[in-house]
């Protein structure tokens, strides 16, 4: 086989280019700290590293959601703490109002104070977060959950939902609670019920007594008609009020006593046509406080005595309701903390796996770099010597 000058140059050039390419790759590995510069360097490890990187990115999103969830739950807890303080104060004032030494003006002053606390509690129930969403509105985060006020009554305008955040692959965590659940579902004790006048009533009649015997736990609505005469509707089984019940009405002192469905309801004062009164095992915080304020301002001692006792029972139920919801919030806060710990451990595992798959072994790389420099220099020197060979060098 004839070795030509062109073959010598081509072979030498190819050898130097090969050694130079290896040297550049090793230099890039050392400078970047990455073993895999392109998928072809290690296809299996590159594919595995891509999977781990994607899992790490998803884990980072969960970590962000966990932070948002923690902040949201802390806000809910702080608002419930404020509501607890107000309810406790209202209960204290209800107990105080029963002091027999207080005059009508003293009781009116307590009523004015409680009216201020009513507005404060309503403000807490309509709390917003940093983005302007209502905390206790359920899914209706853009709608003020509690509308109205002391004079017209308070109506819940939200829904029963609870907004959630996904904090892990398998957990959507509720971060809010429905205001209806917290403030509008106060349950009377066993064998008792709440009796309330509607906020919009225009007459002077107020509930002054309630006794139960054979009560079936239904919700009754008493409507005042002409005369006055009374109609009672069992809205538990007849929500559209199509089957009125005519109660038995008797007079006991200054009270009109209405008897129906195992209930004896006493009204003190003069009712107006269209006034309504309800008897139910479930009542709203704002309705109970509103009735108590109206009784205190009226100076009607029978109504004050009844509504102060009812307010005490109602605030006890409100404390239980808030505590129950707050316990759930606390449990979810612990769950977020636990998930954050798990999330941090997973991030460390992902980082360790990526390091093992992608990062260069500097000791090995630097050794290879030195070796490849020697190989390149050897190839260069060999080419110089081979390229200078000629028969003329051996002719004398």
Q: What mean pLDDT do residues 357-383 have?
A: 60
36-45, 132-141, 329-338: least confidently modelled range: 36-45
What pLDDT score does 95 carry? 94
pLDDT at 277 over 70: yes
* pLDDT in the model for residue 253: 86
Percent of the chain with pLDDT over 90: 58
**Averaged pLDDT of the chain:** 85
Q: Tell me the three-class secondary structure of the chain, residue by residue.
A: CCCCHHHHHHHHHHHHHHHHHHHHHHHHHHHHCECCCCHHHCHHHHHHHHHHHHHHHHHHHHHHHHHHHHHHHHHHHHHHHHHHHHHHHHHHHHHHHCCCCCCHHHHHHHHHHHHHHHHHHHHHHCCECCCCCECCCCCCCCCCCEEEECCCEEEECCCCCCCEEEEECCEEEECCCCHHHHHCCEECCCCCCEEEECCCCCCCCEEEEEEECCCCCCCEEEEEECCCEEEEEECCCCCCCCCCECCEEEEECCEEEEEECCEEEEEECCCCCCCEEEEECEECHHHHHHHHHHHHHHCCHHHHHHHHHHHHHHHHHHHHHHHHHHHHHHHHHHHHHHHHHHHHHHHHHHHHHHHHHHECCHHHHHHHHHHHHHHHHHHHHHHHHHHCCCHHHHCC
Q: Which CATH class is domain 34-189+287-359?
A: mainly alpha
What integer is the mean pLDDT of 178-206? 93
- For the chain, what are the domain ranges? 34-189+287-359, 192-280
* pLDDT tier for residue 299 given thresholds of 50, 70 and 90: confident
Which tops the pLDDT comparison, 239 or 20? Answer: 239
Of the pLDDT bands very low, low, confident and very high (cuts 50, 70, 90), residue 23 is low
Q: What pLDDT is stored for residue 274 in this prediction?
A: 93
């Amino acid at each position: 086989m004839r070795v030509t000058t062109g073959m010598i140059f081509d072979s030498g050039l190819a050898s130097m280019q090969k050694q130079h390419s290896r040297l550049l790759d090793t230099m890039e590995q050392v400078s970047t700290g990455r073993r895999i510069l392109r998928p072809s360097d290690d296809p299996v490890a590159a594919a595995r590293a891509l999977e781990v990187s994607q899992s790490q990115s998803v884990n980072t999103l969960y970590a962000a959601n966990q932070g948002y969830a923690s902040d949201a739950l802390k806000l809910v807890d702080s608002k419930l703490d404020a509501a607890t303080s107000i309810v406790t104060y209202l209960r204290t004032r209800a107990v105080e109002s029963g002091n027999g030494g207080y005059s009508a003006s003293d009781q009116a002053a307590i009523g004015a104070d409680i009216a201020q606390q009513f507005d404060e509690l309503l403000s807490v129930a309509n709390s917003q977060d940093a983005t302007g969403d209502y905390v206790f509105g359920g899914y209706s985060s853009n709608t003020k959950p509690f509308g109205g006020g002391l004079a017209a009554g308070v109506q819940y305008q939200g829904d029963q939902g609870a907004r959630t955040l996904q904090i892990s692959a398998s957990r959507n965590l509720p971060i809010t609670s429905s205001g209806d659940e917290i403030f509008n579902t106060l349950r009377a004790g066993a064998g008792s019920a709440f009796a309330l006048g509607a906020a919009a009533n225009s007459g002077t009649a107020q509930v002054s007594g309630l006794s139960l015997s054979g009560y079936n736990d239904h919700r009754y609505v008493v409507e005042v008609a002409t005369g006055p005469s009374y109609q009672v509707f069992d809205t538990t089984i007849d929500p559209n009020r199509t089957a009125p019940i005519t109660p038995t009405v008797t007079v006991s002192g200054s009270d009109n006593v209405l008897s129906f469905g195992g209930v004896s309801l006493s009204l003190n004062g003069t009712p107006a046509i269209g006034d309504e009164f309800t008897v139910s095992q479930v009542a709203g915080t704002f309705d109970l406080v509103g009735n108590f304020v109206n009784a205190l301002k009226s100076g009607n001692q029978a109504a004050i005595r009844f509504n102060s006792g009812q307010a005490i029972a109602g605030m006890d139920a409100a404390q239980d309701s808030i505590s129950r919801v707050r316990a759930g919030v606390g449990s979810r806060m612990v769950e977020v903390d636990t998930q954050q710990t798990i999330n941090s451990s997973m991030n460390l595992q992902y980082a360790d796996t990526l390091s093992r798959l992608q990062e260069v072994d500097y000791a090995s790389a630097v050794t290879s770099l030195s070796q490849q420099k020697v190989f390149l220099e050897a190839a260069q020197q060999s080419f110089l010597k081979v390229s200078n060979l000629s028969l003329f060098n051996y002719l004398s």
